[in-house]
Structure 1
Amino acid sequence: MDEGEADLIRKARQDVLLGKPASAVHAEWAELGVRGPQTPPGKTIGYSSVVYILRNPRLCGYRSYIPQEIRERSGRVDPVEYLVERTDGTPVIGQWEAILTPDEWTELVVELDSRKNTGRGRRKGSTVTRRLLTGIARCARCGTGLYSGTYLRGTTSYERYGYYYYCRKADGGCGKLARSGPPVEDYVEQILLGSLKQQADNATRVEVEDPELSNAKETLRRIESDKAEARQLRADDLLSLAEFAREMRRLEERERNTKENVAGLSAGPVRAGSTAARVVREWEKYTVDRKRDELKRSIEAVVVKPAGKGGAQRGTFRPDLIEIVWKEILRE
């Protein structure tokens, strides 16, 4: 795989973690004219091929093996299920340059798995509303979840706000509440990010080992295991003397380089990674779906109250008419 293809995969991983559907990654690759090994002449890469590539353990250097009989019987299968492992459960490392680290690949697979049967990644043209607070915002009068609608084109409200949230009578609501969407969303985002920033600022400093040092130590353990395995294969006459010598020389060279790296690393304390800080830092890059996921992790509901007698002054946003109901876990 050339560096251009590797960059595409790294970008796709980042995009998926920021909320982009795999279908959107496929559309982007197809537009770029990307082709896979099995792509028919004159065609671009298929959706299933994109998913297969992103889930392939080879991306992080792990070996996978799908028997030919399974390929013939089942066609394309999930490569994650055919990871090659040693008897102690550790993955077998291949002899090629990895594109992702094992942690990066695992994070990508977990994210893709979390989307199964959740309705995320809907096809283009879906009629399902995808506003930020749909299903989260509720009417204070009757408790019904608010829907979103678009203001009439050409009106001042359309030019200024575009859309609004409203309580729909046809779905059991009272039908007596409506509020312009963007100001409510901006307010809720501001409150959420402020809460997350405070959580990040209050995070205590903990004594943890440098992740790079931990990875280096794990590499040394794997090398020792590989050396023992090579000796056993040689003893069982499954490796020729030449193959055994080459493998041991390769492992010893890698061991020497890793030990030199360990010597230059510090085992001192570092700040534990904060999910809250990461969300605050990357919020503007998130898709609407990803933002909704983060909102729902922290917020039970956003209750929108009626303006009352006389209503509100035109064009004035009143935060006192918005109540955020936090999930109980945040108050423990």
Structure 2
Amino acid sequence: MLAADPTLKCVVCYARISFDGRVKDAHGIEDQHRGMTDNARKLGWLVVYRYTDNDKSASKESVVRDDFEQLLNDLATATTPEGYPIHGVMAVNDDRLYRRPSDWERYLKAFTSQEGRVYHDSNGVQDLYAEGFEIKGLVGVAMSLSETRKKQRRTRNSHRNRALRGQSVAAWRPFGWEDDKITLRPEEAKAIREAVEDVIAGASVSEITRRWKEAGFITSRGNPFQYQTVKQVLVNPRLCGYREIKGELVRDGDDQPIVGEWDAIVTPKQWFAITAKIRERGHGTGMPRGGLVHKYLLTGILRCGNVLEDGTTCNNKMIGIKANDWLKYRHAYMCKKTVDGGCNKTYKRGDKTDDAIERLVVAKLEKEAASKAKDVPDWDKADTLERAIKSRNELERRWHDDEDTAIDDEAFFRNLPVFERRIKELRADQAKHEALKAEAEAAQEDIAKSWGSKTLTQKREAIKKVLNAVVALPGGKGNKVFDPELLKPVWRTSE
């Protein structure tokens, strides 16, 4: 075609959209390319390549636009990936190509690396080689960037104002609520409530994730639940009616958390408790912990108490094994073979061993639960927090005041971080105390009644809190009757 018509312009089209909507069907991108193709046909140009960055912002430095970067490389080499020449570029508008000065400068350098190229956008054919066009482009970028920041600021202010009014600002239906984002969806809310109680009691987020997957729950966007999405649901302050912006609870003029208009699923104490639990397990990250997932309750907790020929005790950790099919029980515990460091002399029936230790642990937990709540007194720093807030408010009043007591900007911004840091520390201490209080209240429940519904991980966590180990003494040769007296618990002391 070029041989037949040397004046033919081979152009490339660039389309971009920041948000593709909820359906993610790329209709906005298709509309842009369709419009550019129509304009190219009217101008007698031939579209030889289409670059597309769908659902990507051009104003955020952290966002990498792959096709934009490809366009710059191809402009520098003067050919498309298939080898067609590039005589020009088309875009619906210049802000589709660039919104930051650095991108404009890079694009202009790549575009003008070859002479005679054409550029077309909503303003028609533009001469990017014209004197002063670089400055004109920078002015346009500055205006575009300013408008973007205004929109972002208006959005932030709108979100905060709605949050201060206690209104829901969720873009999607939150898991646990109906489409109105206010009324609870009973089945999902029940699952969240049970998950919160179980995690506080020792269950892992991984177990909750597996449970929700097995129950067929999906996220509001229609995706299967993963560890991170479950964690996000469980630490969301919306569960107890609160709202958070950038990691801080939204508070009223009296510095109290604002309660939203939506129905709460758990109490604030429960939310503080589960948030502390999850962050503590991930050392502040909330990430799942490593380690083995055990199949049997007392694996690694039982230790062999057989006395060896030299008079020492074996003390090897016993392992759980699947019992033979002809036996009435399904698993057993045994000391490892000699080649694996054990003595292979101690064997315990699994179900009766588990039952005996569980009874001992439940009795111990019930005894401790009676006094546990008394060990967590009321938070004693409420007055200190109130004074710190009043001091910060007084500092702000004096900064805005026109009287003799007014302070200047330097004094205000020098002292403000001191008050803010102190308030933040006190609030963190208050949240930690609320979590301890919630755990103490949960410990007062009927432990024996709730024990059967606990997961294997929860039971192991509870056992390891009160037991260092259980020494299993050998029962002698032959088929002996199970004797719980041969199980010697080693209790943890308060130290």
State the TM-score bracket (shorter-chain normalisation): 0.5 to 0.7
Hey, what does 1:50 align to over in structure 2?
A: 230
Change in CA separation of 1:162 and 1:121 when aligned onto 2, cut-off 3 Å: farther
Hey, what does 2:271 align to over in structure 1?
A: 105
One-letter amino acid matched to 1:9 = I
Q: Give me the whole-angstrom Cα distance separating, in 1, the residues matched to 2:465 and 2:375.
A: 27
Change in CA separation of 1:184 and 1:88 when aligned onto 2, cut-off 3 Å: farther
**CA offsets per residue over residues 271-303 of structure 1, 9 Å max, x none?**
x85836553342112111111111111111110
Q: Give me the whole-angstrom Cα distance separating, in 1, the residues matched to 2:225 and 2:375.
A: 47
Contact 2:205–2:288 under 8 Å retained in 1: no
Structure 1: gaps (5+ residues) = 67-81, 237-271
Q: 2:239 aligns with which of 53, 56, 59?
A: 59
Establish whether residue 35 from structure 1 lines up as the match of residue 214 from structure 2.
no
Hey, what does 2:482 align to over in structure 1?
A: 317
Tell me how large the CA RMSD over aligned residues is. Answer: 4.2
Shift of 1:205: 10
Hey, what does 2:491 align to over in structure 1?
A: 326
Equivalence map 1:1-332=2 (5 Å): 1-2=177-178, 3-4=184-185, 5-30=188-213, 31-36=215-220, 39=221, 43-66=223-246, 82-84=247-249, 92-97=257-262, 98-116=264-282, 128-141=293-306, 142-153=314-325, 155=326, 157=327, 160-169=328-337, 170-200=339-369, 203=371, 273=441, 275=443, 278-308=446-476, 311=477, 313-314=479-480, 316-329=481-494
Shift of 1:187: 1.0
TM-score scaled to structure 2, two decimals?
0.43
What secondary structure sits across from 1:109 in the alignment?
helix
Q: How many residues align?
A: 251
Q: Give me the whole-angstrom Cα distance separating, in 2, the residues matched to 1:89 and 1:291.
A: 43
Q: Give me the whole-angstrom Cα distance separating, in 2, the residues matched to 1:207 and 1:181.
A: 36
One-letter amino acid matched to 1:25 = I
Select the structure that is richer in helix. Answer: 1
One-letter amino acid matched to 1:293 = E
Moved more, 287-296 or 4-13: 4-13
Q: Give me the whole-angstrom Cα distance separating, in 2, the residues matched to 1:182 and 1:305.
A: 17
Shift of 1:103: 0.5
One-letter amino acid matched to 1:140 = G
Shift of 1:85: 5.8
Q: Give me the whole-angstrom Cα distance separating, in 1, the residues matched to 2:198 and 2:373.
A: 30
Task: Flag the structure with more relative contact order, 1 or 2, with Cα contacts below 8 A and sequence separation at least 6.
Answer: 1
Q: Give me the whole-angstrom Cα distance separating, in 1, the residues matched to 2:287 and 2:474.
A: 32
**CA offsets per residue over residues 211-240 of structure 1, 9 Å max, x none?**
9xx9xx99xx9xx99xx99xx8xx99xxxx
Change in CA separation of 1:94 and 1:191 when aligned onto 2, cut-off 3 Å: closer
What secondary structure sits across from 1:324 in the alignment?
strand
TM-score scaled to structure 1, two decimals?
0.61
Change in CA separation of 1:276 and 1:148 when aligned onto 2, cut-off 3 Å: farther
Q: Give me the whole-angstrom Cα distance separating, in 2, the residues matched to 1:167 and 1:145.
A: 7
Percentage of pairs with the same residue: 29
Structure with the greater alpha carbon radius of gyration? 2
**CA offsets per residue over residues 188-212 of structure 1, 9 Å max, x none?**
11122223334456x4997999x9x
Shift of 1:328: 2.4
**CA offsets per residue over residues 228-265 of structure 1, 9 Å max, x none?**
99xx8xx99xxxxxxxxxxxxxxxxxxxxxxxxxxxxx
Shift of 1:52: 0.9
